[in-house]
Amino acid sequence: MSSAIRLLDAASIASDSSVSGIDAQQLGSARDTAARGNSRARNSFPFSAIVGQDELKRALLVAAVDPSIGGVLIFGDRGTGKSTAVRALADLLPPIDVVENCPYGCDPNDHDSCPSCPPSGTRPLQTRSVKVPMIDLPLGATEDRVLGALDLERALAAGEKAFLPGLLARANRGFLYIDEVNLLEDHLVDLLIDVAASGVNVVERDGISIRHPARFVLVGSGNPEEGELRPQLLDRFGLCIEIRTPDDIAQRVDIVRRRDAFERDPVAFAEAWAEGSTNIAAQVAAARSRLSQVHVSDETLERCARLCLALGTDGLRGEITLIRAGRALASFQGHDTVGIAQIREIAAPCLRHRLRRSPLEEAGSDARLQRTLAEHLAE
């Protein structure tokens, strides 16, 4: 692999100028933390080595900066790197501190709502660092496996009534990934809608009554040709990405070359791209710490409202998501204020799945969205 490739960074996502607004000491500290997190052995394709798919990478980074945006839905052709990008992002992020022996991975600074953690101030907490959870939810998973259920082993062996946490507990403070999300069983969709909205999983069954934190970034991927997603769940995703097979020969060759190099020697390939991945991880960490300081002007709010009104989006989730995503993107790029440039960059993922479709409009077409963006978000 050439030295040029080894030194290539994720320039399409974060240029040197985009970091200029971030305090140097803050970014340096974040980079040190990210480097420690990325020193572990990698099993995933490096995020910084992904070719193209800029809108997808931007959306995932924005969701990582502000998980309250509501997750990312990725629709596209098979074999376009949807799951690769998701797993690469989770592997990219620095480790998180959790309460020792807590089945929900609670934050040591925010654990009062946890049924397993001791109340604050009662005794010193033991903590440890773990990778950001990346939990797969299989299409055939049972309700017990997802929500959690009675621990039968302890019930039979010791006669104790205890709760066995499910996938939602393991995903707390991380990512819950559903491949082929449009094929998910309806009863699981209903469960996810409730938990994704509240951030709390409530289990009332088998003589058990328990509430535990379940705040996660919901990421779903699928092929729209294989079925539609239920509107109730579709609305819960903050961002929606549509990706297609690249038609540029040079880009296709570059993708195949990098994938082949990764499969032949994953460790060496990850080392070659470690600097780029560490820089992106540092920007995410710095952006999280300064997110609350980013200002949104009344003029920007008004233009977002006018845009959503012109598009005819249902409810107000469009505006709310647009402002949150714009703030996260501005923070990631090192800006103190959300400008029209950030809104323009993130508007399509925020709004394309909230449009009312015309019977005469081609399904999945972005033409009306792009026209309206050009009219309302011009400088």
| pLDDT tens, residue order, the chain (379 aa) | 443 333 334 334 443 434 444 555 554 554 554 444 444 444 688 888 888 888 899 999 999 999 888 889 998 877 777 888 888 888 888 788 888 888 888 888 877 777 777 776 666 778 888 888 888 888 888 888 888 877 777 766 766 677 788 899 898 888 899 888 888 888 888 888 888 878 888 888 777 788 888 888 889 888 777 777 877 788 788 899 988 888 889 989 999 999 999 999 989 998 888 888 888 888 898 999 999 999 999 999 998 998 988 888 877 888 899 999 999 999 999 999 998 989 989 999 998 888 876 544 554 457 778 888 887 777 6
Domain membership of residue 303 (yes or no) is yes
Print the SS3 string covering 24-73.
Answer: HHHHHHHHHHHHHHCCCCCCCCCHHHCCCCHHHHHHHHHHHHCHHHCCEE
Domain membership of residue 336 (yes or no) is yes
Domain membership of residue 103 (yes or no) is no
Domain membership of residue 347 (yes or no) is yes
What pLDDT was estimated at residue 2?
41
- How many domains, in total, are found in the chain? 1
Distances in Å between the Cα of 287 and the Cα atoms of 94, 233, 375 are 13, 28, 30
Longest dimension (CA), the chain: 69
In 158-290, beta strands by DSSP E: 163-165, 175-179, 200-205, 208-213, 217-222, 239-243
What pLDDT was estimated at residue 40?
41
32 contact partners, CB below 8 Å, separation of at least 6: none
Domain membership of residue 333 (yes or no) is yes
Q: Closest Cα partner for 300 from 322, 321, 329? A: 322
What pLDDT was estimated at residue 112?
73
Q: Looking at residue 299, which CATH number applies to its domain?
A: 1.10.8.80
Domain membership of residue 278 (yes or no) is no
What pLDDT was estimated at residue 294?
92
Q: Closest Cα partner for 223 from 78, 364, 349, 57? A: 78
What pLDDT was estimated at residue 301?
92
Which domain covers residue 372, as residue numbers? 292-376
This prediction has a pTM of 0.78
What pLDDT was estimated at residue 317?
85
Domain membership of residue 353 (yes or no) is yes
Active site residue 317: yes
Q: What are phi and psi of 98, to 5 degrees?
A: -130, 160
Domain membership of residue 225 (yes or no) is no
In the chain, beta strands by DSSP E: 72-76, 96-99, 127-130, 134-136, 148-150, 163-165, 175-179, 200-205, 208-213, 217-222, 239-243
Q: Which residue in 317, 324, 354, 357 is the catalytic one?
A: 317
Distances in Å between the Cα of 70 and the Cα atoms of 9, 60, 238, 239, 253 are 28, 11, 4, 7, 34
Q: What is the DSSP letter of 181?
A: G
